[in-house]
Amino acid sequence: DSGVTQTPKHLITATGQRVTLRCSPRSGDLSVYWYQQSLDQGLQFLIQYYNGEERAKGNILERFSAQQFPDLHSELNLSSLELGDSALYFCASSVVGIGQTYNEQFFGPGTRLTVL
């Protein structure tokens, strides 16, 4: 158990809908990362937040957005869902801060999203 929690574990929805995935980082970790894993695209970085602020953006669609709240939990919002959005969505956290020389990320169990 990495200490990172994600809810829900499974989500089944229809095309055109909107869903919210939730992530709670490990205690003390300030950074949260979101990843999408699908068979055809592999593991893709979406977005990173550090202490409430967006820090890096990867291959995140405009239909997707995220935020990190003052208590450091994060939510990933996926809207106008398409069949191709079906994937495993992982959240990871790390302690990265001033003086940190490396960035070991700890992954949550993931949310499996199925769009029908």
Partner 1 sequence: ELKVEQNPLFLSMQEGKNYTIYCNYSTTSDRLYWYRQDPGKSLESLFVLLSNGAVKQEGRLMASLDTKARLSTLHITAAVHDLSATYFCAVDINTGNQFYFGTGTSLTVIP
Binding site residues, partner 1, CB under 8 A? 2, 31, 33, 42-43, 45, 48, 50, 55-56, 58, 90, 92, 94, 96-97, 100-110
Q: Cα(54)–Cα(97) distance, rounded to whole angstroms? A: 14
Q: Toward partner 1, which CB reaches closer, 71 or 104?
A: 104
To partner 1, the closest distance from the beta carbon of 114 in angstroms equals 13
To partner 1, the closest distance from the beta carbon of 16 in angstroms equals 27
Q: Toward partner 1, which CB reaches closer, 14 or 22?
A: 22
To partner 1, the closest distance from the beta carbon of 56 in angstroms equals 5
Contact 110, 6 (CB under 8 A): yes
Contact 30, 51 (CB under 8 A): yes
Q: What is the largest CA-CA distance in the chain?
A: 46
Q: Toward partner 1, which CB reaches closer, 1 or 71?
A: 1
Q: Cα(25)–Cα(41) distance, rounded to whole angstroms? A: 25
Q: Cα(49)–Cα(47) distance, rounded to whole angstroms? A: 7
